[in-house]
């Protein structure tokens, strides 16, 4: 074999090896999700079977039917949880977007003293572990009667989402050239008009993705929700997931079904934003 052919063979071989490595890693990424979906459709007997059943014999939507059939019939108040989750996540997202837009605009467009210190300070509030924050919040909420209310959760999640919204939205406003708004102002717009007519529409896709990110954070949060909610009045889906665990037994099938219910809205939303998310966070990376 001449050197040319062997080099070509080696190159093709390594290309194949890399493709296989990619395939396997994609498989590992998908596997846990697929495993959940599969098991939500299988009867409990089959999940528990020894030796394991690899090719499902019967698939049914029984777990979902059971789940929605109400308390006492093997169900959990999933409709109430779902409603709480939606109300809390949507409201806190809207509020934190409004606050984030005003804050992000300030960082993107104005120069002021201690700007980077303020930015860092706002970001650092996000690093406080949820469980550490839940202790004093629990105490404070108990005093003012916000435990187990929608309002309490909305306020907490708004504070959780504001720093990251500011970071994202700051990035998106920086991508909008300053000259555009200035031109609009020269043409007679007020600064307020210039913002809504020129800068906001241009940054809108990015702001939408900041919103979806905030929504996902609220939708998925557990550490705070597990301490600040008590009953079906305000329990969210992540907390509801624990309804399926008892001291020593777990209803795997029911939990899988609820997991699928939780993940579908998140899946659709993330798919919608994936393009903008990265560009907002990295816009400051190179320009600084």
Q: Judge contact between 218 and 93, C-beta under 8 A.
A: yes
CB-count burial class (<10 Å; 0-12, 13-18, 19+) for 237: buried
Q: Judge contact between 269 and 215, C-beta under 8 A.
A: yes
Distance CA(47)–CA(217), nearest Å, equals 31
Minimum distance, C-beta of residue 147 to another protein, in the bound complex (Å): 13
Distance CA(138)–CA(123), nearest Å, equals 23
Among 45, 79, 120, 183, binds another protein (CB under 8 A): 120
Minimum distance, C-beta of residue 228 to another protein, in the bound complex (Å): 11
In angstroms, the first-to-last Cα distance of the chain is 54
Residue 2 or 192 with smaller CB distance to another protein = 192
Region near another protein per CB under 8 A, out of 3-11, 68-76, 200-208, 251-259: 251-259
Among 77, 100, 211, 254, binds another protein (CB under 8 A): 100
Q: Judge contact between 128 and 156, C-beta under 8 A.
A: no
| Range 225-244, binding another protein (CB under 8 A) | 226-227, 238, 241-242
Distance CA(39)–CA(52), nearest Å, equals 12
Residue 1 or 245 with smaller CB distance to another protein = 245
When asked if residue 222 is in the footprint of another protein (CB under 8 A), the reply is yes
Region near another protein per CB under 8 A, out of 1-9, 62-70, 73-81, 98-106: 98-106
| Range 125-184, binding another protein (CB under 8 A) | 125-133, 135-137, 139-140, 155-156, 158-159, 162-164, 166
| Range 67-86, binding another protein (CB under 8 A) | none
């Amino acid at each position: 074999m001449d050197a040319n052919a062997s080099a070509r063979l080696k190159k093709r071989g390594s290309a194949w090896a890399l493709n296989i490595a990619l395939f396997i890693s994609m498989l590992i990424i998908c596997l846990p999700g697929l495993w959940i979906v599969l098991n939500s459709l299988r009867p409990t007997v089959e999940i528990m079977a020894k030796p394991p059943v690899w090719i499902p014999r019967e698939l049914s939507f029984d777990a979902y039917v059971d789940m929605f059939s109400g308390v006492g019939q093997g169900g959990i108040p999933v409709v109430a949880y779902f409603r709480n989750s939606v109300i809390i996540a949507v409201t806190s997202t809207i509020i934190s977007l409004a606050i984030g837009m005003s804050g992000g605009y300030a960082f993107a467009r104005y120069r002021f003293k201690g700007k980077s210190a303020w930015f860092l300070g706002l970001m650092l509030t996000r690093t406080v572990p949820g469980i550490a924050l839940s202790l004093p919040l629990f105490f404070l909420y108990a005093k003012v009667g916000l435990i187990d209310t929608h309002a309490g959760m909305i306020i907490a999640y708004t504070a959780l989402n504001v720093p990251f919204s500011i970071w994202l939205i700051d990035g998106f406003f920086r991508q909008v050239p300053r000259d555009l708004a200035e031109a609009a102002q020269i043409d007679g717009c007020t600064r307020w008009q210039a913002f809504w007519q020129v800068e906001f529409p241009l940054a809108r896709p990015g702001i939408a993705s900041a919103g979806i990110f905030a929504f996902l954070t609220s939708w998925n949060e557990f550490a705070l929700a597990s301490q600040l909610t008590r009953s079906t009045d305000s329990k969210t889906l992540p907390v509801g997931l624990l309804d399926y665990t008892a001291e020593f037994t777990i209803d795997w099938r029911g939990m899988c079904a609820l997991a699928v219910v939780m993940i579908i809205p998140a899946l659709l939303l993330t798919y919608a934003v994936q393009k903008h998310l990265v560009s907002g966070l990295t816009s400051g990376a190179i320009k600084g």
